[in-house]
Amino acid sequence: MKRFFKRRTWLLYSIIGLSTAVAIDSCSKQSEDVLIAQQHPVTCDTTNIKLSVNVMPIFKANCYRCHGNGVVTGGVSLDVYSSLLAQVNNGNLIGDITHAPGHVNMPFDGGKLSDCEIAIIQAWINTGAPNN
């Protein structure tokens, strides 16, 4: 009986030891991930922004189903430069995608562009919204 108890104690200690080791390991793994994230922050490149290269893909993925390829909702065709420029110049484009008060939130069917996508569009507008 004594022997049996000893065995159980040994087993108990092993289990405690093992789970502690696992806990410590997963903990250090977590802080490792945080460290890596800090060393490599997700960067948003807003340099050398071009309409065709950087901005249009955002519109294609998020807006064309209502404002592109011949679909003209609310009188807006984002794939027609003159129509797009009009929305830039009247302030609706940036107001709508940033969900600014008094604007119609776009995309209309919900969601919001990511901060980086908005920053890219803003950077393009800041350079004068060229047709490049």
The single residue among 49, 55, 106, 120 that binds ligand HEC, judged by CB under 6 A, is 106
The single residue among 72, 79, 83, 92 that binds ligand HEC, judged by CB under 6 A, is 92
Report d(CA 123, CA 44) in Å as an integer: 11
Choice between 46 and 103, CB closer to ligand HEC: 103
In the bound complex, what is the minimum distance in angstroms from residue 108's beta carbon to ligand HEC? Answer: 3
Report d(CA 96, CA 74) in Å as an integer: 13
Q: Is 84 in the site for ligand HEC (CB under 6 A)?
A: no
If we measure between CA atoms, which residue out of 24, 28, 25, 45 comes closest to residue 36? 28
Select the span of 3-11, 17-25, 26-34, 107-115 touching ligand HEC (CB under 6 A): 107-115
Select the span of 7-15, 16-24, 47-55, 71-79 touching ligand HEC (CB under 6 A): 71-79
Q: How far is CA 64 from CA 37, 60, 73, 129, 132, in A?
A: 34, 5, 10, 19, 19
The single residue among 60, 79, 83, 108 that binds ligand HEC, judged by CB under 6 A, is 108
* C-beta atoms surrounding 55 within 10 Å: 21
Q: How far is CA 113 from CA 5, 17, 23, 52, 116, in A?
A: 63, 48, 38, 18, 8
Q: Footprint of ligand HEC on this chain (CB under 6 A)?
A: 62-63, 65-67, 73-74, 76, 87, 92-93, 96-97, 103-104, 106-109, 113
